[in-house]
Structure 1
């Protein structure tokens, strides 16, 4: 009897790469002419990034710089959820960007439904913030990966622990 193969569908962000992207953005803010003498800042915290600037225009410029750095480091741009712009002290504004990790329940359900719709002989189950897919044939598992890559579930997916 052939042993079942499996893999996990996850949505993860490499926090070391995110830290590098934030640090490069800090350097760019320090060097850019339009930010000279301004109170612009970017800080990485555990699950979010805090931005502060003199106005919304500068905030969006910082976000653009960060996204460019993230793209260079293969960090999915979708992992950032932009909070609302809030007024801060001395007429400045601030914004919190939440770093999304894991697959939310409703998205996991959509992924499992998409896998079942393929009618392949595979088993998909939700586990915390990931989905485990198992089946007897590696070809079926490869077909599931292709189906999920083609679909849009609102989160960036990675496929890990292929056994």
Structure 2
């Protein structure tokens, strides 16, 4: 039975490369000389450091530019956390690199596939959604539907079996 998996997984190697490049640029820029501005990546969590809100925004801009050059979608980053003070006037901000489809998005995808009246089934399997169907054309229509329904998440389709 033909099937495919809908996943949300960033290229962590490219994310690390972008963080390293951003660190090099921050180290050489004149406006960051003598400051605590930097970006670090541990596991799937970025931490940005700066001396002020403005400088933290500048570090974020440098990082986003490097991520864009390395073809990493900015929608993988969860920037909802507020900057926190770490002593004096220094700030840090944690940014989570999203990996895996969360439960709400998975349910939304599953319901959209069911409501579409296509002859396919969607099953949530951990942090992926597997879609199976009898015809390849139905699966391709389901891919288009999922991309349209979950436009806020950079979903990819893997494991296409015929």
> TM-score band, normalised by the shorter chain?
over 0.9
1:34-113 equivalence runs, <5 A: 34-82=31-79, 83-113=81-111
Name the structure 1 match of 2:118.
120
Q: Does 1:26 align with 2:23?
A: yes
The answer (yes or no) to whether the contact 2:109–2:150 under 8 Å persists in 1 is no
Deviation at 1:6, TM superposition (A): 0.5
The answer (yes or no) to whether the contact 2:6–2:157 under 8 Å persists in 1 is yes
Q: Which runs of 5+ in 2 are unaligned?
A: none
Q: Which TM-score applies when normalising by structure 1?
A: 0.94
**Ranges of 4+ aligned residues in structure 1 off by more than 4 Å:** none
The answer (yes or no) to whether the contact 1:9–1:160 under 8 Å persists in 2 is yes
Q: Helix, strand or coil for the counterpart of 1:161?
A: strand
Name the structure 1 match of 2:134.
136
Which stretch shifts more, 28-37 or 131-140?
A: 28-37
Which stretch shifts more, 132-141 or 148-157?
A: 148-157
Aligned residue pairs, count: 160
The answer (yes or no) to whether the contact 2:50–2:91 under 8 Å persists in 1 is yes
Q: Which runs of 5+ in 1 are unaligned?
A: none
The answer (yes or no) to whether the contact 2:122–2:130 under 8 Å persists in 1 is yes
